[in-house]
Chains A and B, each alone.
Chain A
Amino acid sequence: MKQKTLFEEGSLWPVIAALGIWAAHFLLSYWAAALWCAKAADGSGSLFWVRLAIAVLTLLALAAIAWLARHAVRRYGGRLTFEDDLTEDSAAERARFLGHATLLLCALSAVAVLFDAVPAVVFSTCR
């Protein structure tokens, strides 16, 4: 069976994409700060450029997650619902379920990305 590509109808990729963005944001922010402080920082240990980089990374990650959420709503008919059981055995219901799961994971990942960025707000030097 042929694998479905990223944004093909019925693809499972959007469900885990938001978590992937969160993971990438965490790793890149972590690496940026660690490498900067170990190799590049001057005597004052200023984190200015790292904080700027993490701010840009955070905006990019949030934009990507927002786009994914929009995709989940438009193409999959995802809704932030808690009351409805998605149990019908049909292609449309399966797509709605994927959209629903994607949307919830987008919300979780957006919060997690913001949490990743909090240390960059609090710390201004490598010390």
Chain B
Amino acid sequence: MDDGLSSFRLPRAPVAAAAAALAPAALLAGCSGPQSWADTAGVEAEAVARLLWIMVAAAVVIWLLVIGTMLFAARSGPSDPRGRGARGLVIWGGMVAPTVAVLALLVAGLILMRDLTGRTGELTVEATGEQWWWRIAHAAPAGDADAAPVPTPNELRLPVGRTVEMVLRADDVIHSFWVPSLGGKLDMIPGRVNRLHLTPTRTGRFRGACAEFCGEAHAQMALPVVVMQPEAYADWLAGQAAPAAEPADARTRRGRELFLATGCGACHAIRGTAAEGKLGPDLTHVGSRLTIGAGQLPMGRAEMARWIADAGAVKPGVRMPAFDMLPAEEIRLIADYLVSLE
């Protein structure tokens, strides 16, 4: 830079050209990854993306026609609106064509909506929006029809190639369920049951998000999603249905004592122990989850201790109070116990 004003100069042509060339690349970078509607991994997301691309193509054609006509009119100068063809242009181009285009879009959208919500799934997963986490429960493993659904909060695991019926509810305010790579979105409304279908087409890790502003920590209400082979899914679900593992060593045994003694069980349940709280997420297999706090921290001992000490510092507004009045060592013991619950 030769002087202080150089940053105010217009970019030279090669710079501008490079910027113009890079801009689409930068935009396209947003079209991949674990939370992109364009990088589809589900039948339903593909249907939505297909409709969007058809719409974009049709919009480009219509835009070119309208702009082309406008340029033609500007170049050919003023003429008598009563001239030949003017009436037809107004009726066909201005009335009939837009009506048909909007009708086609309406019918395509309605058929898409019917296909996304109107069928029955091969398995059922209940998801309830809470401030600010996901209360998820999988239908119990096959052959055990009377068993209660298996709680697996803040993590959605699905078998590849199967159509899952998501039963969507909300406990407090309106939330919205959206896993862009797989499908959606659909609102979760207190007092209502909405149903959405997801049919994952490939395995992998994806990210869902609450898509309706629901309060302070709305932006931190993420949902890790794992699509697995059906056998792996069955194994995982059987593991999640089992009660919590017994502590294997003195440290985790002490951690469990502290967990129960400090009142964690008022809000959290650990099946197989005296902790039966229903307010917060079920922690029976919390150590097997990928994240802590609905996608906020990776699962680990240090992260778990940090969450227990002051969850609100990680996720402002969270309902869980800070427990930094406990000695740091006790927090570490509780964290060790929780992370051991796989």
Contacts and interface: CB of A to CB of B under 8 A. Distances in A.
Interface string B43-87: 000000000000000000000000000000000000001100011
Q: Is the interface of B mostly helix, strand, loop or mixed?
A: helix
Contact of B82 (A83, A118, A123): A83
B103 A118 contact: yes
Nearest to A82: B90
Interface of B: 81-82, 86-87, 90-91, 95, 99, 102-103, 106-107, 110-111, 114, 117-118, 195
B117 A127 contact: yes
Interface of A: 82-83, 107, 111, 115, 118-119, 122-123, 125, 127
A83 B106 contact: no
Contact of A123 (B99, B102, B114, B195): B114
Contacts of B82: 83
Contact of A118 (B95, B110, B118): B110
Contacts of B86: 83
A82, A119, A125: most-surrounded residue (chain B CB, <10 A): A82
16 contacts: A82-B91, A83-B81, A83-B82, A83-B87, A111-B99, A115-B102, A118-B103, A118-B107, A118-B110, A119-B110, A122-B111, A123-B110, A123-B118, A125-B118, A127-B117, A127-B118
A115 B114 CA distance: 17
B110 A115 contact: no
A15 B90 CA distance: 22
A115 B103 contact: yes
A119 B110 CA distance: 7
A12 B289 CA distance: 67
A62 B102 CA distance: 20
A80 B81 CA distance: 16
Nearest to B192: A38
Nearest to A127: B118
A118 B102 CA distance: 12
Contacts of B110: 118-119, 122-123
A96 to B, nearest CB: 18
B195 A127 contact: yes
A115 B109 CA distance: 13
Contact of B106 (A82, A115, A123, A127): A115
Given A83-B86, A118-B107, 6 more contacts: A83-B81, A83-B87, A107-B95, A111-B99, A125-B118, A127-B195
A119 B114 CA distance: 10
B90 to A, nearest CB: 5
A1 to B, nearest CB: 37
Contacts of B117: 127
B103 A122 contact: no
A107, A119, A122: most-surrounded residue (chain B CB, <10 A): A122
Contacts of A82: 87, 90-91
B47 to A, nearest CB: 15
Contacts of A118: 103, 106-107, 110
A-B residue pairs, 5 tightest by C-beta: A122-B110, A83-B82, A127-B118, A82-B90, A111-B99
